[in-house]
Amino acid sequence: MKKYFIILIILLLGCWLKAYDPSKVDFASDYQFALYRSWLEYTNLPGSTPAGFKPDMITRIFTLDSGEVIDVEYDWKEHRIYNQREILKNKVRGDISPEKLFLLESLVYRINTADNMFIDDFLKITRIELFEDNIRIEKPREWLDKKFPEKIVVISIKSSDISSSQIILITDTMKITVLFPEKMIKIYDIFHQEPTLSLPIIIEPEIVIKEIETDIPLANYLLSRLNDPPRRELLQNKIKNPGMFLRQEFPHHTLNMDNNSAYLLGGTYEDVLLSNLALTFHRSSDGIEFHPDNNYRIEGNSIYFEDDESFYLPACEDHELDMIAPFLAQLIYEHRSIGTRLLNFLLIHDDVPTTVVIRTEERLVHEIDSYADLLLILNDHWKHRQIYFSLSEFKKVNNYIEFKGLLIAEDQNGDAKDSAEIWFHLNSDYRIDLIMMILFPNDLQED
């Protein structure tokens, strides 16, 4: 069992530190999966930043040796990718209709694939034509290979040549005229007209994890409680001694108390994830109340909390740091209190819609209305486990802030460890409005 856990964590940390790397089950068809692999084969580029996500797309950034950046968007529906695009960055792209822009960016993506069929199929389905110096390009893939041998085609839009029927794309050395038909097809309709492929089972060039059966305890418990989550317990009038309560809930932490504050010092996981909690408490008319210690300072683009635990937000401006900093402590300590009764005091996010993905063989996906409900279910299942949790990869996608969390739920003997990747998306008011959690159960069996 231990060896499978090590493999799981290596892969999970790789995803966390690098980028979202979709697998075959993430695509709506074998054709789209083959398109994805063909683009990766031709470009041979690693994702240089983690993915951003929205309800209708996933974004990923790739960097060329020259330092030039390629942005890719994966259009998805019902959690399956049905189209892939390279983003054209010119300011003039805002002057192009969304329908035409989607077709252009889908075309550019297929230009940078290793297989002829993808660009040929696309042009046939969309009835788009390509020209060079008023001469129609009959065999685009062969033509591109001659013009750009062993080179990725970096394309932008020539702003002075936008019209209702054609747009000129430019590279370092030439122009390509894109002629649109009078009636343009919608992107999702292209997906339905793509050829049917029957791909063989592909062994991915990565560490292979033993397949997880669908009857694992965590998956079963989570699915059984999604429609009937545990309720938050009101504990204020049941706690007589705050220190004793915290010692009971966190027996493996060191507790330091000073007046109305408490600091729980726990261990670290792989020198990356922490389990410390900084709290304040007071007595109200209802009894004892616990709150996260929101003492922080901002230095440059970094936010510092107790013991100098810090988070670097390079993409954020000063006023954005001021808006984000106050709720980060709440978010961090909320997750580190999972598995204990303290969560009842720190729980928020009642109305944040959440996608939860359980990484089993069948890739179980569920939508829930309240992230708090999901945490209450996990709190019940992970009782007495040590929770390690940290945030990273703060970035902006389409001017909205996104960041990522990694969580490890370890039993006291270190024998069982469930893991989770969590993406948080902020709205224009800097409030969390969308969450995605991918759960990696550790219920693996030895051969």
The confidence score (pLDDT) of residue 46 equals 65
Q: What angle do CA 370, 374, 379 make, to 5 degrees?
A: 140
The confidence score (pLDDT) of residue 374 equals 94
The confidence score (pLDDT) of residue 342 equals 96
The confidence score (pLDDT) of residue 62 equals 82
Burial class from Cβ neighbours inside 10 Å (0-12, 13-18, 19+) for residue 291 reads middle
Question: Any residues with CB less than 8 A from the CB of 241 and at least 6 apart, and which?
Answer: none
Q: How far apart are CA 319 and CA 137, in angstroms?
A: 51
Q: Supply 275's token pair.
A: 């389990």
Residue 348 DSSP label = -
Give the mean pLDDT per block of 10 residues along the chain (447 residues).
Answer: 44 44 79 87 68 75 78 86 86 75 89 83 89 83 70 62 66 77 82 66 34 54 86 88 90 88 90 91 89 91 84 90 91 95 88 85 82 93 92 89 93 82 92 91 50
Place of tokens 């892939």: 84
Helix, strand, or coil (residue 112): coil
Q: Are 393 and 384 in contact (CB under 8 A)?
A: no
